[in-house]
């Protein structure tokens, strides 16, 4: 048994661009800057190439742009080839299966930070992906409670 699953969280390095294959399938290629720390806690960034297909590609191009934080769940594939000089070139690309919003918090006047609460939902395109109002958010069904009412 083997497992090929990748989880990434980082910022887009450029605006994603939606393209169509000859058969009309949507595809989006972009790269994500992902932080990592060395043994001496020095912060470094890796730039990882990502490809998204169909509705996932369309969603990314509509809602994400350069510098936006994104969470990606997918798999890694090798993209090896031989160049015109006969040299073998080794590279890898992540194919995104699911994406979600993360980070990019907005601060309100109370000092608390707020964050969007929904990501890509292919099955219901009428829902506002930013999670904002209009009766489309699942949070509309909940009433606020006081601190003394919380069970924890």
Q: How far apart are CA 54 and CA 52, in angstroms?
A: 7
Enclosing H/E stretch for 74:
strand 69-78
In this prediction, residue 114 carries a pLDDT of 35
pTM: 0.66
Summarised one tens digit per residue, pLDDT across range 78-123 is 989 999 999 999 999 999 999 999 875 543 333 333 344 444 433 3
Per-residue pLDDT band for 150 (boundaries 50, 70, 90) equals low
Per-residue model confidence (pLDDT) at position 115 = 41
Are residues 122 and 97 in contact, defined by beta-carbon separation less than 8 angstroms? no
Q: Is the pLDDT of residue 35 over 50?
A: yes
Domain limits, the chain: 6-105
What is the number of helices (H) and of strands (E) in the chain? 1, 10
Overall fold of domain 6-105: OB fold (Dihydrolipoamide Acetyltransferase, E2P) (2.40.50)
Predicted local confidence at residue 15, as pLDDT: 94
pLDDT higher than threshold 60 for residue 55:
yes
| pLDDT, greater one: 140 or 35 | 35
């Amino acid at each position: 048994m083997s497992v090929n699953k990748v989880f990434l969280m980082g910022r887009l390095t450029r605006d994603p661009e939606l393209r169509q294959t000859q058969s009309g399938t949507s595809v989006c290629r972009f790269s994500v800057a992902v932080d990592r720390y060395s043994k001496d806690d020095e912060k470094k960034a890796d730039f990882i190439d990502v490809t998204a297909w169909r509705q996932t590609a369309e969603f990314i191009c509509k809602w994400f742009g350069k510098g936006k934080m994104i969470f990606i769940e997918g798999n890694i594939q090798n993209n090896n080839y031989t160049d015109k000089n006969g040299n073998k070139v080794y590279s890898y690309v992540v194919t995104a299966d699911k994406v979600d919003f993360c980070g990019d918090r907005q601060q309100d006047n109370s000092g608390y930070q707020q964050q969007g609460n929904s990501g890509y939902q292919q099955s219901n395109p009428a829902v506002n992906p930013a999670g904002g109002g209009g009766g489309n958010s699942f949070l509309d069904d909940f009433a606020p409670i006081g601190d003394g009412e919380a069970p924890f």
